[in-house]
């Protein structure tokens, strides 16, 4: 079942397509800045953090001076790859609180460029609509089966690398690596829960949240069960704003 009205979603897609040419040109200009290795390192550092980053932190991470870091960070923000905002990190307000710090975080937009033009998103949307339109649920079951089969293949590769004596934590680390290579951006929090900071199918999920989350869970469950054995690494639905709906934990 769609989370948005079909007519409204179609209008949103049409608007995205109308803006695609302009967005691609602007995105290309922003991406050109990543040819600089220092700027690229700063972008990857900021994008990998869960909270906004100040110039001092970014400079230390890149091994450069604060002024040079600020220059490159501002260029990344001007190119649409980062966002800049001002905050008082101490939480204090009023006289004596000091000046707000300029902080940077990854911009929420998406940049895509394909030459010649390709429109896989339109096909994905059509397929998602077809699955949602199946009243018997057979199409959804087939999607989940295909997603689990892909996850099982990925899990078999992890199992072969890990060997029979690998613990759940070791397998979980390998699963993070594989999921990271597929765009999920896994990050482990202090409680040992691995959350996926990015959904590679976010644009499709905007109109088909239940469908995409179910496919993600099937894929990642297939991976963990084949890689570590049932129950040793668990994948569960745990939706959070701004991240993928699946979380992983080790069960040793």
Tens of pLDDT, residues 163-212: 888 899 999 999 999 999 999 999 999 999 999 999 999 999 999 999 99
Whether 210 contacts 4, CB under 8 Å: no
Q: Could you give the CA distance from residue 197 to residue 247 in angstroms, rounded to a whole number? A: 10
Whether 112 contacts 27, CB under 8 Å: yes
- CA-based nearest residue to 199, from 171, 236, 240: 240
* Interior angle at CA 220, CA 132 and CA 234, nearest 5: 120
Determine the 3-state secondary structure of 235 from DSSP. Answer: strand
Which architecture characterizes domain 120-250 according to CATH? 2-Layer Sandwich (3.30)
Quote the pLDDT of residue 41.
96
Backbone dihedral region for residue 192 (phi beyond 0: left; psi -120 to 50: alpha; all else: beta): left
Query: Is 6-106's fold the same as 120-250's?
Result: no
CATH topology of domain 6-106: Arc Repressor Mutant, subunit A (1.10.10)
Domain boundaries, the chain: 6-106, 120-250
- The strand pair at 233-237 and 246-250 is best described as antiparallel
In this prediction, residue 20 has a pLDDT band, given cuts at 50, 70 and 90, of very low
Whether 117 contacts 111, CB under 8 Å: no
Mean pLDDT of 33-46: 94
Mean pLDDT of 117-132: 94
The mean pLDDT value of the chain amounts to 87
Task: State pTM to two decimals.
Answer: 0.78
Mean pLDDT of 132-147: 97
Q: Could you give the CA distance from residue 157 to residue 137 in angstroms, rounded to a whole number? A: 31
Q: Could you give the CA distance from residue 8 to residue 11 in angstroms, rounded to a whole number? A: 5
> What string of H, E and C letters represents the secondary structure of 94-161?
CCCCCCCEEEEEECCCCCCCCCCCCCHHHHHHHHHHHHHHCCCCHHHHHHHHHHHHHHHHHHHHHHHH
């Amino acid at each position: 079942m769609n989370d948005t009205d079909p007519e409204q979603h179609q209008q949103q897609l049409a608007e995205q397509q109308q803006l695609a040419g302009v967005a691609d040109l602007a995105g290309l200009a922003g991406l050109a800045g990543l040819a600089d290795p220092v700027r690229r390192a700063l972008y990857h550092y900021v994008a990998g953090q869960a909270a906004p980053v100040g110039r001092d932190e970014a400079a230390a991470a890149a091994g450069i001076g604060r002024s040079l870091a600020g220059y490159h960070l501002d260029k990344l923000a001007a190119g649409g790859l980062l966002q800049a905002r001002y905050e008082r990190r101490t939480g204090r307000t009023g006289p004596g609180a000091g000046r707000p710090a300029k902080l940077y975080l990854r911009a929420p937009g998406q940049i895509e460029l394909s030459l010649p033009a390709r429109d896989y998103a339109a096909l994905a949307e059509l397929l998602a609509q077809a699955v949602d339109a199946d009243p018997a649920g057979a199409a959804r079951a087939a999607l989940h089966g295909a997603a689990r089969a892909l996850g099982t293949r990925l899990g078999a590769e992890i199992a072969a690398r890990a060997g029979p004596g690998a613990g759940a934590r070791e397998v979980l680390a390998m699963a993070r690596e594989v999921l990271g290579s597929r765009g999920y951006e896994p990050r482990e929090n202090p409680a040992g829960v691995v959350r996926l900071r990015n959904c590679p199918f976010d644009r499709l999920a905007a109109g088909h949240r239940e469908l995409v989350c179910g496919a993600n869970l099937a894929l990642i469950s297939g991976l963990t069960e084949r890689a570590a054995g049932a129950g040793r690494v668990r994948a569960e639905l745990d939706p959070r704003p701004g991240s993928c709906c699946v979380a992983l934990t080790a069960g040793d």
